[in-house]
Amino acid sequence: MKTNLTLTILLASSLVFAADPAPPATETCVADKLISAEKFDRPESFTDKKKPGTDGWRGGIGTWSIKDGAAYEIQEAPSKNRPNGHEAVCEHIVDLGDYVLTAEFKLGPSPQIGFVCRDTNQPNLHQGRVMITPTAIWIQKMSGIAKETRREELKRIEVKLDPDTWHRITIEICGDHFQAKIDDHVLEASHERFKERKGRIGFVAKNEGAQFRNVALWSAKPKS
């Protein structure tokens, strides 16, 4: 009986370990500790608004739900305080320096999505983004928050992305270097702003219909 119990525990442990995603191949840094791995395939992936779901991700601005085994967004509607509404925001509260993130996304009818980070100030100020549309990808350095938000485009490439196809992204932020790989498209940029610690990491989308799944986040360290 004791032997069977030991085997059961070992099997369960191996299954849990096998469920963790393998770190991706990287160029500028090495994925270190796994912070979160969320498939976004179950209702528990999101809880009450602005509270973390089962693996720490929280739907902030806009409405987030699980649809067809992935996170589905609807941006915030226009209001008195925000006449133009606001892009939907999903994020993970962290305290990280360098990091690696992988995910799959589908634009759907959304004209634009982004993978973002903010710093550790209170409130957390915008830091950087890689923005994605069906025809272009760009990296931008950012600062400020709300009406004080400022952005500077650092690198842009023209692309053709099918909005109805799932695409894969790998992001590496190591020191002042920001690299994003979307399918076979690679772009990179450098700025001192990227060196600062990150307090929030997430993704955003305009309008309605973008989807995200299999999002994994690691702390990272420079390649020696």
Range with the poorest average pLDDT among 31-35, 42-46, 103-107, 198-202: 42-46
| pLDDT tens-digit series, residues 134-151 | 999 999 999 999 999 999
CA 87 to mean position of chain CA atoms: 14
Confidence (pLDDT) at 10: 42
CA 56, 35, 68, 164 dihedral sign is positive
- Residue 96 CA to residue 31 CA, distance in Å, equals 12
Question: For residues 143-168, b (16+ Cβ closer than 10 Å) or e, as one string?
Answer: eeeeeeeeeeebbeeebebeeeeebe
Please tell me the predicted confidence (pLDDT) of residue 111. Answer: 98
Q: CB neighbours of 141 closer than 8 A, spacing ≥ 6?
A: 127, 128, 151, 152, 154, 189, 191, 193, 194
Q: What is the mean pLDDT of residues 60-75?
A: 95
Instruction: Report the pLDDT value the prediction gives residue 11, as an integer from 0 to 100.
Output: 43
Q: DSSP assignment, residue 76?
A: B
User: How far, in Å, CA of 50 to CA of 52, rounded?
Assistant: 7
Report, in angstroms and rounded to the nearest whole number, the Rg of the chain calculated over CA atoms.
Answer: 18
Phi/psi for 143 (5° steps) reads: -155, 170
Asked if the model's pLDDT at residue 4 lies above 70, the reply is no
